[in-house]
């Protein structure tokens, strides 16, 4: 088993190390690659556990006015797992309906700047808030220790325990009713994809069968549903298979991080409920995608189709794209495709309760009160139309959606600016993206 090292003693070459505040009662947590146990969360019953993803950052390489760089928060029951932490992630959390929780685990896909630059600020914020518990663990690929060695001057001495764990493809973190698997991707650097895989659930309890067998209502039925036999007062042994239907599948969520299309991703994503795959480029930039080991929307859709997933969510969108054009390209191959924006949520119910679904703005906090005259009076540009006919058509579309729209000449060309209240900007962008062929009608600013 590898040794554990303290920040005050320097950095090591072990596969896992931690640092913690000095003082009496130091506690170390030992970690063995390939045998990593679940953290000290209470073992949950899988039945009824909510599962969703909050997209905090969906841009590639750099932030834009509409998209922050990479960060996704996975919420499962009471767990909050952060995947990647680009610059501004803590502010995105603070702007969201989630707030900035005491995150206990962060999972890095790779160590490029647009996926990790938010770490020093967020970890320091936790310290400034006086956090001493709970401990924080960061999982990542080879090189994660070196990254934190570079961060050390900015972090200083933290008042809470921070553990760094470097993993290789094939490692699994067992959590009782689910596990987190690291898998190989193709990005030209040390990188990991992540899959959350739930265990099978017991089949539905057959009340009529239990009554017929004489199983009384009460704890005995719970024991059977938990998978253990019970002995009745007359000595009869009733086994779970006598009162339970076929086992029901758990859920599976796969997050690739940056990668070209790869067989390893298809294998890891097989029959996933949700595949979050990067789509940095469109078809016209296929060569650039191949040069940089990124994926096009079409290639991501091909992976989703071959893996037989239920829903594909495209992220890591280059600033050159609005997102709707990538959705059209992908849907030509795999119709069940969405392109989330920042603060959108994808909810993943159990299979018998419906399909995964995109909830637009589901993670957004209300930034203003319901009545804000200042916001209502500020008009901002949402699109540019080529002529009066197109502008009026777009204006009518927005008004039909309940959004006030005004037209003004564009000072820089012969088109017309389409303006909406600042408070309605996101709703207007959604209405425009819903057009079947938006690029034939307008160009977004």
> pLDDT tens digit string along 93-108?
999 999 999 999 999 9
CATH 3.60.15.10 is right for the domain spanning 7-37+47-199+249-359: yes
Least-confidence region, from 117-126, 179-188, 237-246:
237-246
- Backbone dihedral angles phi then psi of residue 201, each to the nearest 5 degrees: -105, 155
**Region 373-443: CATH code:** 3.30.70.1530
pLDDT for the residue 413: 58
The residue that leads in pLDDT, 247 or 174, is 174
Mean pLDDT value across residues 382-404: 77
Coil, helix or strand at residue 385: strand
pLDDT for the residue 406: 80
Give the pLDDT band (50/70/90) at residue 434: low
pLDDT for the residue 9: 26
**Residue 71's beta-bridge partner residues?**
57
Segments making up each domain of the chain, as ranges: 7-37+47-199+249-359, 207-242, 373-443
Nearest-Å Rg of the Cα atoms of the chain is: 25
Mean pLDDT value across residues 263-269: 98
- Residue 227 pLDDT greater than 90, yes or no: no
Least-confidence region, from 148-162, 284-298, 309-323, 374-388:
374-388
The residue that leads in pLDDT, 62 or 417, is 62
Mean pLDDT value across residues 117-121: 97
Average pLDDT, the chain: 83
Residues 6+ apart with CB under 8 A from 6: 18, 19, 20, 26, 28
Please state, in angstroms and as integers, the Cα–Cα distance from residue 264 to each residue in 83, 191, 196, 343, 396, following that order: 19, 12, 16, 29, 47
**Spatial separation of the C-alpha atoms in residues 242 and 262, rounded to whole Å:** 44
CA 238 vs. chain centroid, Å, equals 42
Query: Which segments within 201-292 are labelled E, that is strand?
Result: 230-231, 237-238, 252-255, 274-278
Residue percentage of the chain with pLDDT more than 90: 64
Q: Give the other-Cβ count within 10 Å of 264's Cβ.
A: 15
**Spatial separation of the C-alpha atoms in residues 431 and 418, rounded to whole Å:** 13
The residue that leads in pLDDT, 323 or 18, is 323
Instruction: Write out the catalytic residue numbers.
Output: 114
Q: How many degrees, rounded to 5, is the angle at CA 364 between CA 374 and CA 94?
A: 90
pLDDT for the residue 442: 41
Contact of 261 with 166, CB cutoff 8 Å: no
Classify 323 in phi/psi space as left (phi over 0), alpha (psi -120 to 50) or beta.
Answer: left
Kind and range of the H or E run holding 405: none
pTM: 0.73
Mean pLDDT value across residues 17-41: 36
Contact of 210 with 239, CB cutoff 8 Å: no
Q: Give the other-Cβ count within 10 Å of 205's Cβ.
A: 16
pLDDT for the residue 41: 30
Contact of 281 with 316, CB cutoff 8 Å: no
**Residue 61's beta-bridge partner residues?**
none
Least-confidence region, from 212-221, 311-320, 361-370:
361-370
pLDDT for the residue 37: 40
Mean pLDDT value across residues 7-22: 36
**Spatial separation of the C-alpha atoms in residues 200 and 77, rounded to whole Å:** 17
Residues 6+ apart with CB under 8 A from 251: 51, 196, 198, 273, 348, 350, 351
Residue percentage of the chain with pLDDT more than 70: 82
Residues 6+ apart with CB under 8 A from 44: 77, 78, 176, 177
**Spatial separation of the C-alpha atoms in residues 71 and 89, rounded to whole Å:** 7
End-to-end CA distance of the chain: 56
Contact of 310 with 325, CB cutoff 8 Å: no
**Spatial separation of the C-alpha atoms in residues 6 and 335, rounded to whole Å:** 50
pLDDT for the residue 367: 41
Please state, in angstroms and as integers, the Cα–Cα distance from residue 332 to each residue in 130, 277, 289, 300, 412, following that order: 51, 16, 19, 12, 35
pLDDT for the residue 414: 59
- Residue 8 pLDDT greater than 60, yes or no: no
Mean pLDDT value across residues 283-287: 95
């Amino acid at each position: 088993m590898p040794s554990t090292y303290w920040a005050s003693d320097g950095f090591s070459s072990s596969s896992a190390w931690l640092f913690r505040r000095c003082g009496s009662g130091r506690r170390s947590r030992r970690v063995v690659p390939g045998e990593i146990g679940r953290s000290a969360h209470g073992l949950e019953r899988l039945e009824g556990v909510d599962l969703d993803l909050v997209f905090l950052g969906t841009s590639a390489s750099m932030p834009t006015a509409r998209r922050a760089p990479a960060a996704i928060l996975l919420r499962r029951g009471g767990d909050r797992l952060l995947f990647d932490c680009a610059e501004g992630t803590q502010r995105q959390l603070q702007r969201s309906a989630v707030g900035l929780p005491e995150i206990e685990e962060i999972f890095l896909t790779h160590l490029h700047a647009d996926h990790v630059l938010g770490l020093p600020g967020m970890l320091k914020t936790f310290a400034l808030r006086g956090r001493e518990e709970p401990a924080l663990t960061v999982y990542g690929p080879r090189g994660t220790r070196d990254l934190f060695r570079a961060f050390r001057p900015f972090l200083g001495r933290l008042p809470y325990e921070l553990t760094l764990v470097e993993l290789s493809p094939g490692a699994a973190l067992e959590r009782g009713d689910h596990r987190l698997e690291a898998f190989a991707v193709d990005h030209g650097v040390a990188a990991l994809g992540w899959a959350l895989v739930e265990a099978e659930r017991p089949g539905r309890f057959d009340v009529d069968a239990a009554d017929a067998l004489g199983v009384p209502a009460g704890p005995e039925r719970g024991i059977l549903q938990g998978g253990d036999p019970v002995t009745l007062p007359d000595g009869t042994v009733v086994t779970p298979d006598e009162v339970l239907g076929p086992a029901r599948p758990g859920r599976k969520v796969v997050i690739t991080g940056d990668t070209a299309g790869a067989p390893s991703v298809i294998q890891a994503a097989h029959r996933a409920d949700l595949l979050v795959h990067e789509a940095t480029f469109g078809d016209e930039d296929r060569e650039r995608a191949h040069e940089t080991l990124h994926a096009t929307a079409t290639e991501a859709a091909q992976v989703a189709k071959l893996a037989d997933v239920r829903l594909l969510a495209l992220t890591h969108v280059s600033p050159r794209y609005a997102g709707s054009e990538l959705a059209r390209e992908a849907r030509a191959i795999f119709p069940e495709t969405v392109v989330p924006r920042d603060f959108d949520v994808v909810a993943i119910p159990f299979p018998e309760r419906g399909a995964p679904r995109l909830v637009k703005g589901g993670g957004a906090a209300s930034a203003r009160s319901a009545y804000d005259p200042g916001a209502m009076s500020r008009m901002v540009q949402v699109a540019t139309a080529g002529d009066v006919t197109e502008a009026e058509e777009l204006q009518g579309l927005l008004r039909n959606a309940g959004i006030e729209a005004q037209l003004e000449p564009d000072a820089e060309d012969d088109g017309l600016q389409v303006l909406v209240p600042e408070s309605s900007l996101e709703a207007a962008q959604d209405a425009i993206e819903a057009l079947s062929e938006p690029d034939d009608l307008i160009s977004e600013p």
